[in-house]
Amino acid sequence: MTEKSMRQRMLDGELYRGDEETAREIVRAQELTHRINALAPGDHETKRKLLTELLGGLGAETEIRAPMQFDYGYQTFIGARSFVNFGLVCLDVARVTIGDDVQIASNVQLLTAWHPLDPEQRRDKWEAGSPITIGDNVWLGGGVIVCPGVTIGDNTVVGAGAVVVKDLPANVVAVGNPARIVRELR
Residues marked active site are found at 115
Residues 66, 47: Cα–Cα separation, whole Å: 10
* 49 to 36, 45, 55, 68, 184: CA distances (angstroms): 10, 6, 10, 15, 39
Residues 72, 105: Cα–Cα separation, whole Å: 21
Report DSSP state, residue 127.
Answer: B
42, 62 in Cβ contact below 8 A? no
Q: Is the Cα torsion angle 83, 92, 95, 40 positive or negative in sign?
A: positive
Bridge partners, 88 (sequence order): 68
- Number of C-alpha atoms within 13 angstroms, CB side, residue 3? 3
Q: Please classify residue 71 by burial: count the beta carbons closer than 10 Å to its beta carbon, then call 0-12 exposed, 13-18 middle and 19+ buried.
A: buried
